[in-house]
């Protein structure tokens, strides 16, 4: 076995592309070196390099290969394509059984030769989200200018050529603290020498050092770091040698909304926000420098504080300017913003959201003042789109409207409702709470879904340009997490859209490892547009199926359904009509009487939400069904007896279907 190592060293690679690039390098090498039995693959990525180390066999083994081609009667083009695929000539194929057959003896190929011949072409097709042409010929593309290639097999250089460069055993360390080239002999040697030259090659180690440094400087000041995994990932991709420092925020800027201050710090400077012991924003920020300064970082800190001061001065300018105009005075400007050419303007959208929010609030039991607040918040929720702050930071839409509205109504429910109406933006985002806030958030998402479905702009495959799947998932989460008894069809009046929302609920359950098949079974038992009630039924049936009685009753149901399917094909259908009078066996009568009881009172209990009592009654059915199948011969030679018993099985099936269509249960 031999160690294969490759490093592609370039100008700065955008942080967001590094992990994907390392995965692409692993994919390419895995494909090219598959015949060398590649194993123990390790990838590395950072601001100026992606690399891979792996164990491979010393050669590709030889042997006889056979491949069947097209039929003898196939067109010449088909044969030519087959020969081209295997780089074979016409005299290498024979005919057997009416087909062309390629049979070839192949010699063993040394790993170095295979790498040299196959890897350059594959790397030339490297897939970057964005790339640039460079070099004298201008026909080579890479994410940034490629400067060096290291390609080694057990320490020996494999001189592959990529663009204008040929591989060697030389790379470079830190741009400022250890400039200049040096040679390496293996992946371990490469890592050790880079570390000595102020570069941490392993991205996981570098990330851990960023986190460790942030926590250390925060703890020294009695603070904690505001959690932001995405920013940690980005900073990890920006530094080769993390040196975390702490800066101070001028007190004047602490009166800004924390979202404004922290977004400016994050987006513009990649600074981390800090919290005090009470969890409140602290007048400090942390950041990772890419250099160990001789003065302990004093000059770097001062420079970053100066930059932040300028950034926050701009933000304060927008804040103070926006506060001069009441939010409702901005509404006419929304008439000039087109939401969608086929749907209308943002002003028209705001009026729809206002009306829908009021309707939802009333359906949820709101009083007159709450319904009016929901209507007002709905009308104003898009007004901040024309403010200076949202123009500078689009990520703050809704949030700024909440602050500006809060200044207007002295902190009532309108401001918070506007502030949270985009939530949840993702699976880990919190949902709005409170009748006014949930009404506006639901109205915003339902209006988006209704309008785009009306114009036929629905998600297809993986494409969802208007984030309708996210909106539908937001609707389900808001309803379920707030336990809202809301009849959805009252507001959407579109079966296709309702099915779309249910599909998002199904995906949500699947992602959480829950029984989405039980959801299908419950919905098949009867249309219900109250998602809270639907999920209560799903949970009740799931809990019942998890018991011994439930599992055995499911087996009995399937047995009954199978018998009915076979017998219905002969002389059915056998309808679930009442089987009256005395029956030949007591097991038949006991099952009939229990089914009559269940079809009445117990099914009503289930529909009314008395799930525990309903499922407890259904659990008693198990022993009676077991006894029936144990003692009763369904296909009795007497036609009337057979017919009655098949009707009894149909009653069993149809009674259970009033709870859920158990044929949809998997497993």
Q: Which domain holds residue 7?
A: 2-59+111-196
In percent, the amount of the chain with pLDDT more than 90 equals: 72
How far apart, in whole angstroms, are the C-alpha atoms of residue 200 and residue 177? 13
Is the pLDDT at 228 greater than 90, yes or no?
yes
b/e per residue 34-72 (b: at least 16 CB within 10 A)? eebebeebebbbbbbbbbbbbebeebbeeeeeeeebbee
Q: What would the mean pLDDT of 138-166 be, rounded to a whole number?
A: 92
pLDDT in tens, 458-496: 998 888 999 999 999 999 999 999 999 999 999 998 889
Indicate whether 522 belongs to any domain.
no
Is the pLDDT at 410 greater than 60, yes or no?
no
The closest alpha carbon to 438, from 458, 423, 427, belongs to 423
What secondary structure letter does DSSP report for 265? Answer: I
Same-domain pairing of 227 and 123:
no
Same-domain pairing of 381 and 235:
no
Note whether 218 and 224 are within 8 A (CB).
Answer: yes
Indicate whether 516 belongs to any domain.
no
pTM: 0.80
Same-domain pairing of 479 and 570:
no
Same-domain pairing of 151 and 118:
yes
Is the pLDDT at 197 greater than 70, yes or no?
yes
Same-domain pairing of 404 and 427:
yes
Same-domain pairing of 462 and 481:
yes
CATH code of residue 100:
3.30.70
pLDDT at 84: 85
Indicate whether 530 belongs to any domain.
no
Domain count, the chain: 5
Note whether 622 and 553 are within 8 A (CB).
Answer: yes
Angle between helices 435-454 and 495-511 (to 10 degrees): 120
pLDDT at 420: 96
Query: Rg of the chain's alpha carbons, rounded to an integer?
Result: 34
Last residue in a domain, options 106, 139, 171: 106
pLDDT in tens, 71-90: 888 888 888 888 888 778 88
Last residue in a domain, options 196, 219, 253: 196
b/e per residue 480-491 (b: at least 16 CB within 10 A)? bebebebebeeb
Label residue 375 by pLDDT band (50, 70, 90): very high
pLDDT in tens, 644-667: 999 999 999 998 998 899 999 987
How far apart, in whole angstroms, are the C-alpha atoms of residue 81 and residue 73? 15
Considering only residues 9 and 597, tell me which one the structure prediction assigns the higher pLDDT. 9
Same-domain pairing of 153 and 19:
yes
Neighbours of 237 (CB within 10 A): 22
Structure tokens at 99: 């087909």
Same-domain pairing of 224 and 161:
no
Indicate whether 259 belongs to any domain.
yes
Note whether 32 and 86 are within 8 A (CB).
Answer: no
Q: What would the mean pLDDT of 285-306 be, rounded to a whole number?
A: 95
pLDDT at 409: 66
Same-domain pairing of 235 and 252:
yes
How far apart, in whole angstroms, are the C-alpha atoms of residue 264 and residue 312? 7
Same-domain pairing of 334 and 391:
yes
Last residue in a domain, options 322, 341, 365: 322
Same-domain pairing of 316 and 345:
no
b/e per residue 143-178 (b: at least 16 CB within 10 A)? bbebebbbbbbeeebbebebbebebbbbbbbbeeeb
Q: What would the mean pLDDT of 93-113 be, rounded to a whole number?
A: 84
Considering only residues 667 and 538, tell me which one the structure prediction assigns the higher pLDDT. 538
pLDDT in tens, 623-635: 999 999 999 999 9
Indicate whether 649 belongs to any domain.
yes
């Amino acid at each position: 076995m031999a160690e294969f190592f490759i490093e592609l060293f370039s100008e700065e690679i955008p942080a967001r592309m590094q992990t994907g690039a390392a995965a692409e390098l692993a994919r390419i090498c895995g494909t090219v070196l598959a015949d060398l039995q590649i194993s123990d693959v390790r990838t590395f990525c950072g601001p100026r390099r992606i690399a891979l180390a792996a164990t491979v066999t010393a050669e590709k083994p030889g042997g006889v290969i056979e491949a069947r081609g097209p039929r003898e009667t196939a067109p010449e083009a088909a044969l030519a394509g087959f020969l081209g695929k295997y780089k074979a000539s016409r005299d290498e194929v024979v005919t057997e059984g009416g087909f062309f057959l390629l049979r070839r003896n192949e010699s063993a190929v040394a790993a170095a030769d295979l790498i040299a011949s196959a890897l350059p072409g594959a790397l030339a097709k490297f897939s970057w989200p964005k790339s640039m042409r460079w070099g004298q010929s201008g026909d080579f593309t890479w994410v940034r200018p490629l400067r060096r290639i290291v390609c080694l097999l057990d320490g020996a250089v494999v001189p592959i050529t990529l663009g204008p460069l040929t591989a060697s055993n030389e790379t470079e360390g830190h741009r400022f603290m250890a400039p200049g080239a040096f040679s390496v002999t293996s992946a371990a040697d490469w890592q050790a020498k880079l570390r000595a030259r102020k570069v941490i090659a392993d991205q996981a180690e570098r990330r851990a050092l960023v986190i460790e440094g942030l926590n250390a400087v925060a703890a020294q000041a009695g603070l904690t770091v505001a959690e932001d995994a995405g920013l940690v990932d980005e900073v990890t991709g920006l530094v080769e040698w993390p040196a975390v420092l702490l800066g101070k925020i001028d007190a004047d800027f602490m009166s800004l909304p924390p979202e404004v201050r922290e977004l400016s710090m994050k987006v513009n400077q990649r600074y981390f926000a800090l919290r005090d012991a009470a969890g409140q924003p602290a007048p400090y920020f942390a950041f990772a420098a890419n250099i160990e300064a001789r003065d302990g970082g004093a000059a770097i800190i001062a420079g970053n504080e100066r930059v932040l001061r300028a950034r926050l001065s701009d933000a304060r300018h927008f804040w103070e300017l926006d506060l001069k105009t009441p939010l409702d005075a901005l509404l006419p400007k929304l008439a000039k913003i087109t939401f969608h050419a086929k749907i209308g303007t943002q002003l028209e959208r705001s009026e729809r959201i206002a009306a829908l929010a009021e309707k939802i609030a009333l359906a949820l039991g709101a009083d007159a003042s709450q319904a009016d607040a929901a209507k007002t918040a709905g009308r104003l929720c898009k007004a901040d789109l024309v403010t200076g702050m949202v123009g500078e930071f689009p990520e703050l839409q809704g949030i700024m409207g909440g602050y500006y509205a809060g200044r207007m109504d002295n902190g009532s429910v309108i401001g918070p409702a506007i502030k949270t109406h985009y939530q949840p933006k993702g699976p880990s985002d919190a949902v709005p709470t409170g009748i006014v806030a949930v009404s506006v958030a639901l109205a915003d998402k339902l209006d988006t879904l209704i309008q785009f479905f009306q114009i036929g702009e629905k998600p297809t495959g993986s494409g969802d340009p208007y984030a309708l799947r996210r909106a539908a998932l937001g609707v389900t989460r808001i309803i379920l997490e707030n336990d809202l008894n809301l009849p959805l069809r009252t507001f959407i009046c579109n079966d296709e859209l309702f099915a779309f929302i249910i599909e998002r609920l199904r995906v949500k359950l699947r992602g959480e490892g829950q029984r989405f098949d039980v959801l299908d079974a419950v919905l098949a038992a009867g249309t219900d547009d109250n998602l809270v009630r639907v999920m209560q039924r799903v949970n009740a049936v799931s809990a019942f199926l998890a018991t011994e009685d439930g599992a055995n009753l499911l087996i009995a149901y399937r047995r009954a359904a199978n018998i009915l399917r076979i017998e219905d094909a002969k002389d059915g259908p056998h309808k679930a009509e009442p089987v009256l009078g005395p029956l030949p066996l007591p097991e038949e009568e006991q099952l009939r009487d229990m089914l009559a009881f269940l079809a009445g009172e117990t099914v009503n209990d289930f529909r009314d939400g008395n799930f525990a009592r309903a499922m407890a009654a259904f659990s008693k059915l198990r022993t009676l069904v077991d006894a029936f199948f144990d003692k009763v011969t369904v296909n009795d030679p007497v036609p009337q007896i057979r017919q009655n018993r098949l009707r009894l099985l149909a009653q069993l099936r149809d009674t259970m279907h009033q709870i859920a269509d158990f044929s949809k249960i998997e497993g």
